[in-house]
Amino acid sequence: MPTPRTDRAPARLVVLVSGGGTNLQALLDATADPAYGARVVAVGADRDGIEGLARADKADVPTFVARVKDYTSREHWDHALADKVAAFDPDLVVLAGFMKLVGPDFIARYGGRTVNTHPALSPSFPGMHGPADALAYGVKVTGCTLFVVDAGVDTGPIVAQSAVPVLDDDSVDTLHERIKVAERAMLTEFVGRMAREGFTITDRKVRFGTP
């Protein structure tokens, strides 16, 4: 997304989900305001029958599904996923609780303009179990990280982070729910800024605005 969108058509977002889609819902709600500067043009998933897809349907946003098991290899799935995303010509791809790693083909086409949200403060606790790993370690503060996707697991350049306290009586679920409140606010604020202001990435530093 090289240029700010202030005086232009809203940035086109394709959002990928795997579950309940509360982060997607936050984006759908935010993009209802024309001043937000972006709109969700499609929602994709790696599985059928999830609440995230139902939320898209309800908002009259087109959906697509690419299931790994329907392809002969992970590489074919990755290529097909990138093709399905490309059909909606996005400016920015948002992985919002998308529980698959995108592969080399996807990154070749959408690297640098795909963001993901992770429920931990990177570089701590990467992977599928961020809240559980933070709780087990005994940290007093955790949070969430919005980052630009690269080939690693939750390793890409950081766009934003938000801290959340860990309470003595937390379970994984109570902690994750507290993180998700911060995650939704972070996601909507910073995806909006990326859309409106543009951004650059130099030596892992993500900066808003154009050079």
Q: Are strands 141-148 and 205-208 parallel, antiparallel or unpaired?
A: unpaired
Q: Give the CA distances from residue 92 to residues 70, 108, 114, 132, 167, in Å, rounded to whole numbers and listed in that order.
A: 26, 14, 6, 30, 35
Concatenating the DSSP letter of every residue in 72-112 gives: SSHHHHHHHHHHHHHTT--SEEEESS--S---HHHHHHHTT
Q: Does 149 bind ligand GRF (CB under 6 A)?
A: no
Q: Which stretch binds ligand GRF (CB under 6 A): 14-22, 30-38, 146-154, 197-205?
A: 14-22
- CA dist 119 and 172 (Å) reads 11
Residue closer to ligand GRF by CB (options 97, 103) is 97
Segment 158 to 187, residues that bind ligand GRF, using CB under 6 A: 180, 183
- CA dist 114 and 147 (Å) reads 8
Q: Could you count the other beta carbons within 10 Å of the beta carbon of residue 167?
A: 11
Residue sitting closest to ligand GRF (CB):
97
176 labelled catalytic:
no
Residue closer to ligand GRF by CB (options 4, 45) is 45
What x-and-dash track marks residues 100-139 binding ligand GRF by CB under 6 A?
A: -----------------xxx--------------------
Q: Does 145 bind ligand GRF (CB under 6 A)?
A: no
Segment 26 to 65, residues that bind ligand GRF, using CB under 6 A: 52
Which residue from 90, 97, 143, 156 is in contact with ligand GRF, where contact means CB under 6 A?
97
Three-point CA angle 120, 126, 131, nearest 5°: 40
Residues that bind ligand GRF (CB under 6 A): 17, 19-24, 52, 96-97, 117-119, 180, 183
What are the catalytic residues? 118
